[in-house]
Structure 1
């Protein structure tokens, strides 16, 4: 425990080629007693080198970088440091980008023009193996796509509710409490969703559901 009485300090790196944005974000991180800014990189190669040197717990990564994209950097970083939590800042990722992110171990998508409080909360609660996609990004992506592709799997109303909570990054315990069902029943719905979507993990299921436009704006119980 630190001298400030903070039990868990998080080391955070910023990867963005926009110097002003990166400096403002770094300054904001420096004002948080439980967050330690360990450096800034402006591209993929710099990000990989920074993470090998500074070993951050969390990386805030812009998607658009001059020598590649944020997923390129994330994949290289996670190869050598799989426990690193990486949050991608972007505007409106395509379903293909979401699917690639789900398989890469990314922890979340946030809009680059979103609030600082949301970013700080996501940094503090980011978990490896759980991808959080900000609702506004899902909404933008749905509006940008055409009609639902033919042959989409038929999900029940309850499966859609569970799927929506999965997409928000909640765990089985939270989902079961939210829906008023047992954890055993909730796990059964998750298994059914994975089978119908041909997915091997919840992250892959969410990415597939996004591609097929199965994540509606809201559902009734």
Structure 2
């Protein structure tokens, strides 16, 4: 008799104080063969306890919770179980929230009103150490741009930065630009240094605030 080699479905918990949203998302997860809904909590404190109990693979969590926010809850969960992949859902994040998210250890930052398929794909493909952010979350109202030199980035660095903002990884960016992955990583490193950023997400948030991305206007 052939041995079943199918991988176990990813175990997912949903953290949201809107019960209807959480129940509908749980039902959607259970309709997927490779995903399994294993619990729901409605507060940051309950989220931490639930994750300690059921040890999920992935957490989908609203940013706005009854007793705190999703990034605080994510920090507490990852302190206990750093292997858990956490995706935070939000509406219009401020540049400060985007910057904090970049260093929080979460794997994804998505719009709560986005498509179900995008969310399911994020649950499937989120990886520790990686960071997915939907481009729509960068299209938020910004404060007046900080003083900046118009020629801070080279033309090629601006191209790489634009592709980073679109959510592409280094391999995809290198292919699109017709350069090697090592060369593309060098551009990323230069961009981070010039913008004073520690991660690509933080660099994109800073560039958006300073109007360095296409579609924005330099002061």
- Asked if these proteins are the same fold (TM beyond 0.5), I'd say yes
Larger mean Cα displacement after TM superposition, 48-57 or 147-156: 147-156
CA distance in 2, matches of 1:95, 1:32: 34
- Counting only pairs closer than 5 Å after superposition, residues 92-103 of structure 1 correspond to structure 2 as 92-103=92-103
CA distance in 1, matches of 2:134, 2:149: 24
- Counting only pairs closer than 5 Å after superposition, residues 104-119 of structure 1 correspond to structure 2 as 104-119=104-119
Aligned to 2:204: 206
CA distance in 2, matches of 1:124, 1:217: 31
What runs of 5+ residues in structure 2 fail to find an aligned partner?
none
> CA RMSD, aligned part only?
2.0
Partner SS state of residue 37, structure 2: strand
How far residue 183 of structure 1 moved from its aligned partner, in angstroms, is 1.3
Aligned to 1:167: 165
- Counting only pairs closer than 5 Å after superposition, residues 61-80 of structure 1 correspond to structure 2 as 61-80=61-80
Larger mean Cα displacement after TM superposition, 115-124 or 205-214: 205-214
Superposition TM-score, scaled by structure 2 size = 0.89
How far residue 184 of structure 1 moved from its aligned partner, in angstroms, is 1.9
Matched, 1:150 2:150: no
How far residue 152 of structure 1 moved from its aligned partner, in angstroms, is 5.5
Contact 1:9 1:34 in 2 (8 A): yes
Larger mean Cα displacement after TM superposition, 169-178 or 207-216: 207-216
Would you say how many aligned residue pairs link Structure 1 and Structure 2?
213
Larger mean Cα displacement after TM superposition, 130-139 or 39-48: 130-139
How far residue 191 of structure 1 moved from its aligned partner, in angstroms, is 1.5
Contact 2:135 2:167 in 1 (8 A): no
CA offsets, 1:2-45, max 9 Å, x none?
95x64352111100000011000001101101001110010000
Ranges of 4+ aligned residues in structure 1 off by more than 4 Å: none
Superposition TM-score, scaled by structure 1 size = 0.88
Aligned to 2:45: 45
CA distance in 2, matches of 1:30, 1:152: 51
Matched, 1:183 2:181: yes
Partner SS state of residue 193, structure 1: helix
Aligned to 1:9: 9
How far residue 212 of structure 1 moved from its aligned partner, in angstroms, is 2.9
CA distance in 2, matches of 1:35, 1:85: 14
How far residue 146 of structure 1 moved from its aligned partner, in angstroms, is 4.0
How far residue 96 of structure 1 moved from its aligned partner, in angstroms, is 0.3
The structure-2 alpha-carbon separation of the partners of 1:134 and 1:120, relative to structure 1 and needing over 3 Å to count, comes to same
CA distance in 1, matches of 2:79, 2:197: 22
The structure-2 alpha-carbon separation of the partners of 1:118 and 1:81, relative to structure 1 and needing over 3 Å to count, comes to same
